[in-house]
Amino acid sequence: MIRASDLLIARRADTKARADFSTWRMMAKLNVASSLTTEAQGFLAQFDKLRGEVGETAAAEATIVAIYKSYYAEMGGAGVPPDAKIANPKGTARHAPDEDLVSPSATSPRRPPDNVVALHARAQRPKPTVTANGAKPRLPVALIFLCLVVITVGLRYLFQ
């Protein structure tokens, strides 16, 4: 039986492992991997070794699982860490890390992951109404000014 606290630790460890691995890979691509910790460099070396044997996607997932197990122990998880798919079902990779979101057939695009926000153009605001001679109506401004005058005069009479 998995305790709720261990499940929470497992979820955090899985999320952190996936984020850290992506960051480390990007740093390795930018040739700044020497600034990483020795632990991170070890995981990247393990990834490079596995990538030659089983392919990039499987190697990435295996490395993430190894990082996850390490983080689970560091965060105070008790016993054997639960399967990452059970602990964090939304965190599992839906596509290969360097794969585009469009399938090879290019006719049926794949859905982006849940954490991607689609950007939309702003809704167009209606243009302000213009009177016949081209000037904007001044009623709201005049009304506000009139209210301020009434309040000012009322306060003067009140405090005299």
Percent of the chain with pLDDT over 90: 9
> Which residues are bridge partners to 69 per DSSP?
none
Amino acid, res. 145: F
Spatial distance between the Cα atoms of 134 and 147, rounded to a whole number of angstroms? 26
Q: What is the pTM of this model?
A: 0.53
Quote the pLDDT of residue 80. Answer: 73
Reported confidence tier of residue 111, pLDDT bands at 50, 70, 90: low
The mean pLDDT of 26-37, rounded to a whole number, is: 85
The mean pLDDT of 74-101, rounded to a whole number, is: 61
In the chain, domain spans: 4-87
